[in-house]
Structure 1
Amino acid sequence: MQPNTEQPAYFSKYENLHFYRDEKGILEVKMHTDSGPFIFTGTAHRQFPDAFYDISRDRDNRIVILTGTGDSWIAQIDFNSLGDVTNPREWDKTFWEGKKVLQNLLDIEVPVISAVNGPALLHSEYILTTDIILASENATFQDMPHLNAGIVPGDGVHVLWPLVLGPSRGRYFLLTQETLSAQQAHQLGVVNEVLPSDRLMERAWELARQLAKQPTLTLRYTRVALTQRIKRLATEGIGYGLALEGITATDLRNAE
């Protein structure tokens, strides 16, 4: 049975996401800001949990490719758009959205490919929820925003980076705000393939089409099997990490 080729309503619902799905059920999700490189904002923080939920519940999606636009994956953030994070009531919204975005990413029960098209300086934990990670040669990986803002890196990076790098190297990466090149990330086992920029999406689609030859239930249940442990660790750690991050955010009012 072929997937439904009619575009669902959510394809035009989110201002920072462009969706394209082919006849095999391969869904490409491209983050962008006004069709250019994606700048992370409060709007994206609010909308991404719903977007990934919509993707997860659409059973016509058989493989998902997540990528950015232009020469960056996520390299910029509009801090002002996030609201007053020193206000506990405002942080409560961030707390809920931060939990749900990773839960809903992990609830996408089909294989997910990350095509990291440039610097991934924030919310790199999204990448680490995916099954195949491809990176362009100009990609870099860093947790830029947390310590720069004086708050705990507790939105999932504290769970997933030590998981993929190992506890000691993962803590070093977060505490020093280390920047990993695509080649270093490949050597450390974070990235599966490093490619020229002009080959990145071609390779992502090549792998997606290879996977699409499998029966749909095989695709779905393989993803379920491969993410079971990650989902458990995420459930255990993300709410606690965000609570600690929120404490340090509210303490910014007292910072000199």
Structure 2
Amino acid sequence: MFSKPCSRNSISTRFAGESACSGLPIAKPTSRVPRSAPDNGGNMPEAWSRTKMYRTYLDEYSAKWAEYFSFKREDGILEMRMHTLNGPAKWSLELHRAFIPALADVHHDPENEILIFSGTGDKFLDTMDPEGWERYDFKQDMTFDRGYDFWYKDQVHEPFSFLNLEIPVIAAINGPCFIHQELALLNDIVIASESTTMADGHYTGMGIVPGDGVQTIFRELMGVNRAKYFLLTGQVLSAQELLDLGLVGEVVPDDQVIDRAWEIARTVFKPRARSTRVMTRALLVQPWREILVRELPAGMANESWAVHGYWGMAQDGFDIETLTSSEDEE
């Protein structure tokens, strides 16, 4: 029942609970042993009881998820950055699954009032981690178990790990974003660095169905025909084009994107009453919740089924890191 720090080389199948944190003031113990580790005497900490309100603590979950995310909090504003070995994040199956319980931990910490979400270095998320796929036999033909256990089951929940947060979320896109753009675009305020570019690698890169939510998100944000062109041709959008299309709210110099996110947190959200912040958040994300409940499971079913006919990683010469095959290079 006690979780241990998660490694980027392992996938945890234990998902955090879905119930919301009450937000009631909770006294912090004067001497608290992290629940994920025994005390100095080797004794495991006491279990949660019916007389204690469940909550999480930053020092515990920042250590638990340290291989995937870095955290910093000031005045109730939490900064959360994806990373791989302290550099730009590479997308792996472990990172994919880590989002769901990690954001649940953020959600259940009543000391978090506003979230800033970003990447590390000069990239938001544009590269696959080949080792993270090969560890789970994805260089072989696709099977039902892999399609369901690693794709469908995770992705029908991952967008909601953001949408279930009851605090405002600012996305600071700090560079190229070619993978899981919903991690940025579903949030309340989205800003981008000047070096940001955005494309989708499902159809043109991996040769698979773009059904993990991108079909819905880009259609809603840029219109039906633009979205189809974007998804089917591999079109790369610049930061200015993202701004012109309404996908981001601001474009700022590369070295200012995180500072600007903090400024927005302090000037747009922090001055408002907590009740105003959380209920405005609930109102603004509700349309996304409703449409993804309707469309995401079917989209993922199409994506997960179609890979039984073609799965690039099982082909000789396919490079999962760059989403290219030897045939593409000829």
TM-score range, shorter chain: over 0.9
Alignment of 1:17-166 (within 5 A): 17-22=69-74, 24-79=75-130, 81-82=132-133, 83=136, 84=138, 86-93=142-149, 94-166=151-223
Stretch of structure 1 that moved more, 37-46 or 84-93: 84-93
1:60–1:146: structure 2 CA closer, same or farther, 3 Å change rule?
Answer: farther
Paired position in structure 1 for 2:280: 222
Deviations 1:45-100 (A, max 9, x none): 12111112222232221111110111100010124523337111111121111011
Q: Contact conserved, 2:194 with 2:251, CA < 8 A, in 1? A: yes
CA distance, structure 1, for counterparts of residue 156 and residue 104 of structure 2 = 12
Question: 1:147–1:153: 8 Å Cα contact kept in structure 2?
Answer: no
Report SS of the residue matched to 1:240.
Answer: helix
- Alpha-carbon offset, residue 111 of structure 1: 1.0
Contact kept? 2:198, 2:237, Cα under 8 Å: yes
- The question of whether the paired residues in 2 share the 8 Å contact of 1:65 and 1:114 is answered with yes
Report SS of the residue matched to 2:226.
Answer: helix
The sequence identity of aligned pairs, in percent, is 35
Matched with 2:266 is 209
1:168-190 CA-partner distances (Å, limit 9, x unpaired): 11111111111100000001111
Residue pair 2:147, 2:305 contacting (<8 A) in 1 also? no
CA distance in 1, matches of 2:195, 2:27: 36
Matched length: 255
Distance apart, 1:146 and its partner CA: 4.2
What is the CA-CA distance between 1:2 and the residue it aligns to?
A: 9.2
Counterpart CA distance in 2 for 1:107 and 1:51 is 12
The answer to whether structure 1 residue 240 and structure 2 residue 292 are counterparts is: no
SS at match of 2:58: coil
Between Structure 1 and Structure 2, whose CA radius of gyration is higher? Answer: 2
CA drift of 1:147 comes to: 3.3
For residues 152-174 of structure 1, the C-alpha deviation after alignment (integer angstroms, 9 at most, x for no partner) is 01111111111111111111111
State the alpha-carbon separation in 2 of the partners of residues 253 and 25 from structure 1. Answer: 44
2:97 maps to amino acid? R
TM-score normalised to structure 1 length: 0.93
Aligned-residue RMSD, C-alpha: 2.1
Distance 1:184 1:144, change over 3 A: same
AA partner of residue 90 (structure 1)? R
Deviations 1:28-53 (A, max 9, x none): 00011111111111110121111122
Distance 1:67 1:235 in 2: 25
Q: Distance in 2 between matches of 1:8 and 1:196?
A: 32
Distance 1:4 1:183 in 2: 47
**What is the alpha-carbon distance in structure 1 between the residues aligned to residue 224 and residue 130 of structure 2?**
29
Kept in 2, the 8 Å contact 1:72–1:120? The answer is yes
User: Counterpart of 2:36?
Assistant: none
Asked if the contact 1:56/1:105 (under 8 Å) is kept, the reply is no
1:3: Cα distance to partner?
9.8
Distance 1:2 1:199, change over 3 A: farther
TM-score under structure 2 length normalisation: 0.73
Amino acid at match of 1:234: L
Distance in 2 (alpha carbons) for counterparts of 1:253 and 1:202:
41
**d(CA) in 1 for partners of 2:70 and 2:115?**
13
